[in-house]
Chain A
């Protein structure tokens, strides 16, 4: 019921946006900003956050345990502010992990799921398929809203992960010669009318990283950072980035660390 009302509100707002754009009387960037402001109070991401909180607290798996004892880096069960300090090194896994990888780890260790079970359906598909990962990420990231990004770079493995992420960012390959840097290493450019953040600079990385995950209006789905990277590589004409692979974590570490110092704002709402 609540969902339907939200959906209608989104459609109405999207339509009201289309009018000034069509007449070309206003600055599109300003109109889009107005549209974003108008949607802040009714972000459908809240539905994912609520479902995620239930999933966090609900006993599941062969061990019939909840995730409430999951250590996201600030101690077992501490959710508040945890995302702003990820990815980071976890001694119990001897590995740098981003949030989504850590959740898989907790589902395996606390709930007794296999890796295959814990990584099944990493991403939802609108009304066709819901993903528990999306919901849990929405819940946990929302608990870092307003917290300053503070990704550590102290442990040797954190330094290594960051350095490898930077190399992956600049790796050109595939039939189109694309890398992340093709679109995201220059100031003030856009694809078609979409502005592109320069992720090699602090301001650009801050602007981009602190606004994911996001509810994507055009897809009717909440999109996590793992999804964002996955879809970038699809458009780069690369093979598919594996969910929670070390390559995905390294790239996330590079981008998240570059965003240090900025207030985390997600889950947001995007076109």
Chain B
């Protein structure tokens, strides 16, 4: 139902985009909106549920649909603002008001890349895999560069309550701050639990964390 509404909304926007001459394809073919609808059909027919990965993973929420639509080009400012507002409104603060958990557990979560793949089970420990994309500590030299370096995250920005809240929001739902960021919305999507998000925030914001050494 939601998916259908999104698709209708998408079609309208896509026509506007095509008229504006922004259909980014390298070669002539079907129109942008037709191609997107047909591609989704192809994917629904071309994937099988396997283990914990069910077919509903191909059902996009509005953020995913808009970010797919504008991928490969610039996102219009009003669309970006709409995405950020909706995701900001969806951020859930910690139930006890405390943002920092245990940075040592946070480090384990940052190192771990498993969880939610069809090769995992419901019981596979879930990680945030932060090091896949970010530098975090001096000790870990095997880090990726898709995201910015987070080394000295708290030290640079200050160990203030405002920064704790910001770090919480970035880990919980990064698209509240940066529409169509490549980063998963760890808390929002239920990938990490509230306790795990606290541990990751502690890794970033605890003065004794190796991130801030």
Contacts and interface: CB of A to CB of B under 8 A. Distances in A.
Interface of A: 153, 159-160, 162-164, 166-168, 170-179, 181-183, 185-186, 188-194, 196, 200, 233-235, 237-242, 245-248, 250, 257-258
B39 A241 contact: no
B117 A163 contact: no
Contacts of A174: 53, 57-58, 116
A192 B132 contact: yes
Contact of A246 (B46, B68, B190): B46
B34 to A, nearest CB: 9
A177 B67 contact: yes
Interface stretch (B100-108, B139-147, B151-159, B199-207): B139-147
Interface of B: 25-30, 35-36, 38-40, 42-43, 45-50, 53-55, 57-60, 63-64, 67-68, 71-72, 116-119, 131-133, 142-146, 182-185, 189-191
Nearest to A200: B72
A189 B35 contact: no
Contact of B30 (A163, A183, A192, A200): A163
Given A192-B144, A200-B72, A238 B191 contact: no
Q: Which of B54, B71, B190 has the most CB of A within 10 A?
A: B71
B144 A175 contact: no
B64 A172 contact: yes
Given A160-B30, A191-B144, A237-B53, A175 B191 contact: yes
A164 B116 CA distance: 26
A235 B71 contact: no
A185 B72 contact: yes
Contact of B145 (A170, A190, A241): A190
Contacts of B27: 153, 159, 162-163, 257
Could you say which of A164, A235, A258 has the most chain B C-beta atoms within 10 Å of its C-beta? A164
Contacts of A159: 27-30
Contacts of B190: 175
A163 B29 contact: yes
A181 B71 contact: yes
A263 B185 CA distance: 40
A173 B46 contact: no
A141 B131 CA distance: 36
A209 B9 CA distance: 35
Contacts of B28: 159
B57 A173 contact: yes
Q: Which of B43, B53, B183, B191 has the most CB of A within 10 A?
A: B43
Contact of B47 (A235, A247, A250, A258): A247
A163 B24 CA distance: 10
A49 to B, nearest CB: 29
A196 B64 CA distance: 23
B64 A190 contact: no
A163 B58 contact: no
Given A233-B47, A247-B47, 16 more contacts: A159-B28, A163-B29, A164-B42, A167-B36, A167-B40, A167-B68, A177-B184, A234-B118, A237-B117, A238-B53, A238-B57, A239-B54, A240-B50, A240-B118, A246-B42, A247-B46
A175 B117 CA distance: 10
B71 A239 contact: no
10 cross-chain pairs, A with B, having the tightest CB-CB distances, nearest first: A247-B46, A245-B46, A167-B39, A163-B29, A170-B71, A240-B50, A159-B29, A176-B184, A174-B57, A239-B47
Nearest to A202: B26
Nearest to B116: A237
B30, B55, B59, B117 interface centre (most CB from chain A within 10 Å): B117
